[in-house]
Structure 1
Amino acid sequence: MMKILLGVVLVLVLLVVLVLALPFLIDLNKYQDHYRPLIEEALNRKIALKDIRLTIWPRLGARVAGFMVMDDPAFSSDPFASLAALEVGIKLMPLLSGKVVVEEITLRDPVITVLKNKQGLLNVSTIGPKGPAKPEAPKPEVPAAPAGGPLQALALLAVDRVAIVGGKLTYQDQSTSKPTDYVIDHLEFLLQSVHLGESPTLHLAATLQPFKLPVTLDGSFGPLVETMDLQQFRFDLGIGKIMLNLAGRAVGGLLDARLASPFISSADLPMALPLTKPVQVKDLRATVKATYPPKEGLPPLELAEVPNLSLAVVMGDSVVDVKGSVLGGRATMTASSPRISTADVPVALPLKKPLEIQDLLLEAGLKGEDARLSNLSFHLFNGQAKAEAGMTLGSSAPPPFNGKATIQGLQLGPALQALGTDKVSMSGTATAQLNVGGQGFSMPDLTKTLAGTARLAVRDGKIEGINLMQEIGTVLKVAGVSSERVNATLFSTIETDLAVKGGMVAVQRLLMDSHDFRATGNGTVGFDQALNLALNLNLSEAISQKIARSTPVVKLALKDGRLALPLKITGTVQAPSYQVDMKALGGRVQEQVKEKVEKKVEEAVEGLMQGTTKPEDLKKQGKELLKDLFGR
């Protein structure tokens, strides 16, 4: 009996020794010449294997060390991918019954380099077997199942655990003027329960360089079926401090997904944005429907449909609610807000004082290259503004645009104060209609291409910084023309038509009514604020008589007791210069003198012929005429 037990123990010891010696007795490297060409042909790449052997501990399986895939020589002579080790573990009990069941696959320290060359081609685009020669004549297309079908792919992935420990993925872009590198390192990847009928769980963690941005992905999908449809999936994506939730299903080539995020801050994005302060997006909700795989050649807006999109854009104390959709290749968006303060806007604005926009409503759409702002309305400074515009994208750079706008009841004074006019400003209630078109939005582009027409009217206001009557008195060297001691010009109406072209605003049919005068005229105002206006000032009787008493020669230009002054305004909007057109004024004086003299001569001749005037009366009438003309 003792001998039998010793014999059994000896056999077991020999079996254990044999099993432990298997990795050393069986050399799998001698089979490299058989499977290496197959792998190289499948990858269209040269490969290198340092060592491959069986493993007993920590689990039964095989270990491949020093696995390397070389890059396409047209891109680089360096490796495309390498692994410190590939470990495959199999289950023992099924093996005893003649079945190989993979329990675990572990990739240690994989290093992959994706490269885009100067021509914009990716090195991964040449991975895979070379295609067969093009047939001479087309043949009827016969649907063919992929080699092995989905069951074979699932059999290859039938594993309890797939893991990546460490590793690095590098993306090199050499197509730009300044080549850039992006690196994903500190990889952690774990995929569990990859079996038919089960729902695998996924964990991924990495760091995106050079931003030092942590990225995580956790979730599950399945259950796995032969067709690879996903009855449900749910993932939580973390990008730094940003969290996104993605859930849905993908069945029969149709994707139905829902995206949500409670909070996204621009300060947490990995790239620098041209913002002066952070912007938050709250309560992001989106529904996405698409077919997969996507059809080639489709425009971006036709790749998927977004029946519902909603979010809130938070800028300080200002909140804008955004809703939208993408249906049938057309994207639409509506934005609304009860109140927006420019102090909360995260971009620099050319304003000296913050202003408040109320009841904002914006409706816009995009289809193909046609972008349309169908409605923009808001209240500002007790007035209302409405606008619509269109733009053609992709046809040229910069893109052409057109638009029209109306303004009603705008209080002009506070608006100009917010813009920060230094010397000259205007108040009053303004209305305007505007139709413009152009190409580009920079000042050089607008100066060159902006063209359109406008109608402007301002009621019951004043021009701050200018007392036009005082300026007239200064030009004519007459003191006390204006009884107003303030540096302003009151008016009841200013109306004009405007035409914009070539960096100039043509002022047409200008009318300005005031207690002291009525002005009509035309001229130009440049985009550089240069003025060139010609006005005809028809002064009131009181002002006209005051000037005539101080300057007798002006009396000769009076007509119906009122003085009409031709006035030129040059300089700039902020520093205007005034000049009376003396040549035109002299011409009017000559006309008035000629008219009066001709009238007196006609009366004198008629009196002599009728005998009602004696020759000695002519001298007296001549003196009266001179006194009337020159005031003495």
Structure 2
Amino acid sequence: MKKLLLILAAIVLLIVVGVGIFIATFDADRYRPQLVSQLEKAIGKPVKLERISLGWRGGVAVQLRGLAIYEDQAALHEPLIAIDSASAVVRLLPLLHKDVQISSVLLDHPHIHVSRDAQGVVTLTGLEAAASPAAASGQQAKVGKSAITFNIGSLKIASGTLHWTDAMASPPTDLSVQQVDVLLKNISLTQPIDIQARAALFSDEQNVRLVGRLQLPTTTHPAALDAVRLETDLSRLGAEKAASSLPSWQTLGLKSAPTGKLLVTIDHCVLDASGLAKLEVAIHLTDAKLAPAQLGGPIEHLTVEALAKPGHIDLTRGTADVAGGSITTTGTIDHLDTTPQMALQINLKELKLESLLPTPESNEPHLRGTLSGSFQGTGRGIAWPQLSQTLSGTGRLTLKDGAIVNLNILREVFQKLSIIPGVMKKLEARLPPEYQAKFQANNTVFLPIDAPMRVEGGALRFEQLPIGTDAFRLNGTGSIGFDGSLAMQWMLSIEPVLSDALIKSVKELQYLANTSGELEMPLVIQGQAPRVAVLPDLNYVSSRLIVPAAEDLLSKFLEKSLKKNAPSEPVPQPQ
């Protein structure tokens, strides 16, 4: 028995040595031209293959080096698919039963180029061949009259690159996803295949994770994806790399890289033309932070819930903390491939203007207060420079605890009444102290403001904008541009008690009083914030002052003339 075992062991050893010698001496590369020819016939594209070799790694290992698939002979500058090396380990014993069991397939450093031209045609050739039924695990092929079964245990992609170019996007996009690692286990035609993947997006390190299930295509149904989850941390995205790959990123005007957690999910997607046209992708952004250059402070705790379909996004809800208050929005976005068209409903709640607006220089006039409001309308574009010029709609704004800091409107008005000589000196000398304080104040403090508005042409436009203070009220129309421009036309009405004190100090002002005893005059506030000018209508003031003064002079002149020309009364004669 012992001798028999030794003989069997020797036979096994000889077989192993024989297989080893066969693998070491067999020139598999001589079959490379035939394999390339068969591949080109199968996919209808030019194929290049540098070398085929055999080895042993727990089974017969077949290795392909320098595999590349091209769009056509005229486009050999960048392949659709390029793989440094592809290897498959085949279990030896099942081969005796015509069962090709591939324990593992490794694709090392594959490079896949996916493109879309200006007409919207996506070039994805090669992936279809890789995922075709003939290449699937569990399939049977015939060699002569015998059926051979193919089974694949796992497929691994290591250090891959996905290159996406889009000539239809505006501006065109050139994006590369690096360090792509993919693992598919228990590959089967009848059961979903678990997918695990990691990749580096705008980063030198892997920062994107994907899991899901893949159903391979068969003769009866196309391929499909289920339960797909893609996750990334925005803080791990490189802003500089993103800006170089996506020109539209630069137009966002961010002062620093964004942060937040992004989750993208797909419940089910059939991987054919009909299924992709119905693709729905759920987008969940949580606890994000953005720092737009146009705002004085960051947008924090940004949360977005959206559902994306081809060319369309339903914004279910978006919330954020901004300038000590909050913003909520809902809406839709269409025409994603060209110039996005938005329809939005936005609500603002208690935003602090001093935190919302850019920080002013010392002593420069600026707004202060708590802003709330609503807006419903449309706009085109994603970046603020374009969106601000195309926003159109209606809404309402309210301002509490409002003030213009470092600008006293009342003082500015009377300082410019040059038609009344020395008006400010007279007021400073004659006004009671409690009224002088209103001219000496550094700020103009407003009563609560509530006004409807229109948004168009890059500005907020007000048909009626009533503003009140404890000393006067303003009523009129005007616009406030998103670029900081200001153009307001108001009627200034000073409250009666203060008007009376002003008239007593400067009697010429009586001609500016209305029937209610209020001094009133038109004025314009215009300029580019923070450099704004308060300009009373001097033509109006002149007309109100000159006409009554002329009437007084004429009346006195006529009265004097009548007295001069009147006959003297006869002197009584003595009796």
TM-score range, shorter chain: 0.5 to 0.7
> Which is further off, 497-506 or 113-122?
113-122
What aligned pairs does 1:85-484 form with structure 2 within 5 A after superposition? 90-91=92-93, 124=126, 150-152=139-141, 156-158=148-150, 211=178, 213=179, 215=181, 217=183, 219-221=185-187, 228-230=189-191, 233-239=193-199, 240=206, 244-246=210-212, 253=221, 257-259=226-228, 264-266=232-234, 272-273=241-242, 276=256, 279=259, 281=261, 288-291=267-270, 294-300=271-277, 302-303=278-279, 313-315=286-288, 345-353=289-297, 364-366=306-308, 369-373=311-315, 387-394=329-336, 397-407=338-348, 410=350, 414-422=352-360, 423-427=364-368, 430-442=371-383, 444-446=385-387, 448-458=389-399, 461-476=402-417, 477-478=423-424, 479-480=427-428, 482-484=435-437
One-letter amino acid of the counterpart of residue 419, structure 1? L
* 508-517 or 106-115, which deviates more: 106-115
**Distance (whole Å) between structure 1 residues aligned to residue 371 and residue 538 of structure 2:** 34
Q: List alignment gaps of at least 5 residues for structure 1.
A: 1-11, 129-144, 183-207, 316-344, 605-614, 620-632
Q: What's the TM-score, normalizing by structure 2?
A: 0.61
8 Å CA contact retained: 1:519, 1:538: yes
Identity fraction in percent:
17
What is the alpha-carbon root mean square deviation over aligned residues?
6.1
SS, match of residue 436 in structure 2: coil
| TM-score of the pair, normalised by structure 1 | 0.56
Deviation at 1:288, TM superposition (A): 2.9
Q: Which has the larger radius of gyration?
A: 1
The CA deviation string for residues 140-164 of structure 1, in whole angstroms up to 9 with x for no partner, is xxxxx99xx9433795454798999
Q: CA deviation at 1:249?
A: 7.3
Q: Which residue of 2 aligns with 1:193?
A: none
Assess, with a 3 A threshold, how the Cα gap between structure 1 residues 550 and 405 changes in structure 2: closer, same or farther. Answer: same
- Which residue is equivalent to 1:486? 441
Unpaired segments ≥5 residues, structure 2: 1-10, 200-205, 243-248, 418-422, 567-575
Partners of 1:170 and 1:181 within 8 A in 2 = no
Residue 538 of structure 2 corresponds to 582
Supply the distance in 1 between the matched residues of 2:307 and 2:258 (Cα, whole angstroms). Answer: 26
Matched length: 493
Flag the structure with more relative contact order, 1 or 2, with Cα contacts below 8 A and sequence separation at least 6.
Answer: 2
Query: Following the alignment from structure 1 to structure 2, what is the Cα–Cα distance between the partners of residues 78 and 398?
Result: 29
Q: Tell me by how many angstroms 1:102 deviates.
A: 5.4
Q: Distance in 1 between matches of 2:299 and 2:173?
A: 44
